[in-house]
Amino acid sequence: MFSGSIPAMVTPFRDGRLDEGALARLVEWQIASGSSALVPCGTTGESATLSFEEHYRVFDTVIEAAARRVPVIAGCGSNDTATAIRHMQRAKAAGADAALVVAPYYNRPGQDGLVAHFEAVAAAADLPIVAYNVPGRTVTDILPETLARIAAIPGIVAVKDASGDLARVTQHRALLGAEFCQLSGNDDLWLPHAVMGGTGCISVTANVAPAQCAAFAMHCAKGEWAAALALHDRLFALHKAMFADASPAPAKYALSQLHDWFDPEIRLPLLPANEPAQRAVDAAMAEAGIL
């Protein structure tokens, strides 16, 4: 279903407002650099700070700029099932190709509640869904057996797993079959995830190094593991630097160093990348051959 390097796109702001021009330029750069799909309004896109109007303008801007050249997987997750349904319906109307739906955060639903949430959002909008498991942010963990129940719901086509537990890749294959689409949610674990059967990564690093991440994905798809390992090693410091301060502040700082049209503005409660994080990003980009 989905594969390759898929950036979890940042949302550019300028003077407190959505910078639609910079967002469209990011889309062009990503596609020209070989990204295989785009994910707007995910965690890296600061979706938690976007108004409904802004959220949907991001959908519209990315979908229009992508112009069907690559799939757009719209971030539709919420801790509120009704809001997730609203996002799903709007994404469908805007022309998105799929939706990324995170496990509800803060509320801490049980495993049955998770299944009921995905049943409700899948029934409300005819849009393929990538289920997103990131217990470090949501607290609630979609257990492998629960994912098997969720994957049986019509419309659930893939999982983005950011649990950090590589055993999940094998567990998911055993429960769901080798054809079920598994995407990594951790850049630093992308290589072993791919070796174990993953097909790609929804990536923070790809915001900053799209061509390098696309090349890495190509090596993985071809089973060129020595080449993939060499590129993994070059990018590893950058993977880590993207979280040297609260994400996506380091990614936004990096983009401001690469593009004079990109402003690193970020919204409270997050702050711009601190000086140690900036130094880590600068060093990592130099090591990766980007800066």
3-state helix, strand, coil in the chain (%, to 5): 50, 15, 35
CA dist list (Å): 51 to 18, 56, 83, 193: 10, 9, 12, 34
With both helix axes pointing from N to C terminus, report the angle between 52-66 and 20-32 in degrees, rounded to the nearest 10: 40
CB-count exposure of residue 214 (10 Å: 0-12, 13-18, 19+): buried
Tokens of 126: 């005819």
Contact in structure between 267 and 247 (CB atoms under 8 Å): no
Give residue 98's pLDDT band: very low, low, confident or very high (50, 70, 90).
Answer: very high
Rounded-to-integer distance, Cα 10 and Cα 4, Å? 18
Give residue 74's pLDDT band: very low, low, confident or very high (50, 70, 90).
Answer: very high
Q: How do residues 116-135 score in pLDDT, each as one tens digit?
A: 999 999 999 999 999 999 99
Backbone angles phi, psi at 9, to 5 degrees: -70, 140
According to the model, what pLDDT value does residue 242 have? 98
3-state secondary structure of 62: helix
Tokens of 203: 């990536």
Q: How do residues 152-198 score in pLDDT, each as one tens digit?
A: 999 999 999 999 999 999 999 999 999 999 999 999 999 999 999 99
Beta strand residue intervals within 165-219, DSSP E: 181-184, 200-203
Active-site choice (132, 240, 252, 253): 132
Q: What angle do CA 284, 287, 291 make, to 5 degrees?
A: 80
Contact in structure between 242 and 276 (CB atoms under 8 Å): no
pTM exceeding the 0.85 threshold for the entire prediction = yes
Instruction: Tell me the percentage of the chain whose pLDDT exceeds 70.
Output: 100
CB-based contacts of 274, cutoff 8 Å, min separation 6 = 245
The alpha carbons of the chain give a radius of gyration, in whole angstroms, of: 18
Rounded-to-integer distance, Cα 216 and Cα 232, Å? 7
Place of tokens 């990096």: 254
CB-based contacts of 22, cutoff 8 Å, min separation 6 = 12, 14, 261, 262, 263
Q: What angle do CA 118, 123, 128 make, to 5 degrees?
A: 75
Q: How do residues 44-60 score in pLDDT, each as one tens digit?
A: 999 999 999 999 999 99
Over residues 2-20, the mean pLDDT reads 98
Whether residue 141 has pLDDT greater than 90? yes
Give residue 252's pLDDT band: very low, low, confident or very high (50, 70, 90).
Answer: very high
According to the model, what pLDDT value does residue 1 have? 81
- Structural domains of the chain sorted by starting position, each given as residue range(s) with its CATH number in brackets: 4-221 (3.20.20.70)
Written as one letter, the residue type at 141 is D
Place of tokens 């049943």: 119
Instruction: Tell me the percentage of the chain whose pLDDT exceeds 90.
Output: 99
Whether residue 253 has pLDDT greater than 90? yes
According to the model, what pLDDT value does residue 291 have? 85
Active-site choice (56, 92, 105, 160): 160
Whether residue 132 lies in the annotated active site: yes
Contact in structure between 109 and 117 (CB atoms under 8 Å): yes
Written as one letter, the residue type at 218 is M
The mean predicted confidence, pLDDT, of the chain is 98
